[in-house]
């Protein structure tokens, strides 16, 4: 079995997908906080992505990297995102190159398009439009991956994750939801498909009127198994019942409507 380094392994997405990935790969699960639910054959490592020593040790003997770690939050400031979403991504990519690891999967987000309105949205025809500092950091990460893929032939799959909550909370999420099982399938494609140089796909399950139809993922062999309509939350909100604060008309939902934290304080 190939050995995979997973960063951010103790986070919500990492915790959800690791049981599926353990079926195919030997995992080295890396995070600032310890993973407490490791399974058979899973190696748990506590470390800092901005430590050269920690990165070198984490990458020793691995065949591929799945980069989940990031700073996330509706009210995340730019400064709060710098270490986890910018510096750590560059540090990991460079350490991956130096370690001779040839395969990299980057967990991005639909929030790189979040400021677009849902009506008439087409991800294949519109430019990136991050909705807040979380999405901006992910857009940076995508470009950083492109740099290393094209300059250093690092085989890279960028997965723009829809909504990976356990249940579908409202009408917007219904059109971009992804199950843990389907997301793990996409990650596995990125970690093992021989034909990838640099590709961007969308992490969504089977959704009605999907915001992110994805011929590239289909070409790579992705076959989603789960339907968003089968996982509605008991408190599911139809479009007409969604309050304005949830950003029902935007791809990014509430992230597109919340006030951005100030980057610099005003001069006294």
Is residue 204 within 8 Å of residue 162, measured between CB atoms? yes
Is residue 2 within 8 Å of residue 191, measured between CB atoms? yes
- What are the backbone dihedrals phi and psi of residue 65, each rounded to the nearest 5 degrees, phi first? -125, 135
Q: Which of 86, 106, 133, 134 is catalytic?
A: 134
Neighbouring-strand partners of residue 156: 104, 198
How many C-beta atoms lie closer than 10 Å to residue 228's C-beta?
24
Closest by CA position to 228, among listed 158, 187, 173 = 173
Closest by CA position to 231, among listed 204, 213, 255 = 204
3-state class (DSSP) for residue 258: coil
Closest by CA position to 105, among listed 36, 189, 176 = 189
Tokens 């999907």 correspond to what residue? 210
Write the CB contacts of 258 (distance below 8 Å, at least 6 apart in sequence).
Answer: 74, 75, 132
Buried b (16+ CB within 10 A) or exposed e, 180-199: bebbbbbbbbbbbeeebebb
The answer to whether 134 is a known catalytic residue is: yes
C-alpha–C-alpha distance, residues 129 and 210, integer Å: 18
Active site residues: 134
């Amino acid at each position: 079995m190939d050995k995979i380094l997973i960063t951010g392994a103790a986070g919500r997405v990492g915790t959800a997908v690791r049981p599926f990935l353990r079926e195919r790969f030997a995992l080295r699960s890396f995070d600032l906080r310890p993973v407490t639910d490791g399974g058979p054959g899973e190696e748990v490592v506590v470390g800092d992505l901005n430590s050269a020593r920690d990165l070198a040790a984490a990458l020793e003997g691995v065949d591929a990297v799945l980069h989940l770690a990031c700073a996330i939050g509706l009210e995340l400031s730019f400064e709060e995102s710098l270490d986890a979403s910018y510096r750590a991504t560059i540090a990991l990519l460079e350490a991956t190159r130096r370690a001779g690891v040839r395969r990299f999967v980057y967990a991005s987000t639909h929030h790189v398009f979040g400021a677009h309105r849902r009506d008439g949205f087409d991800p294949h025809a519109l430019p990136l439009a991050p909705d807040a500092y979380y999405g901006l950091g992910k857009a940076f990460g995508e470009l950083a991956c492109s740099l290393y893929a094209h300059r250093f032939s690092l085989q890279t799959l960028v997965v723009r994750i829809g909504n990976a909550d356990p249940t579908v909370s409202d009408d917007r999420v219904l059109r971009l939801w992804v199950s843990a099982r389907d997301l793990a399938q996409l990650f596995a494609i990125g970690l093992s498909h021989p034909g990838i140089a640099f590709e961007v796909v969308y992490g969504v399950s089977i959704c009605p009127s999907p915001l992110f139809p994805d011929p590239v993922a289909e070409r790579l062999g992705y076959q989603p198994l789960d339907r968003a309509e089968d996982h509605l939350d008991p408190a599911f909100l139809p479009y007409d019942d969604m309050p304005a604060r949830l950003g029902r008309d935007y791809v990014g939902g509430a992230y597109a409507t919340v006030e951005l934290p100030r980057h610099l304080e005003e001069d006294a």
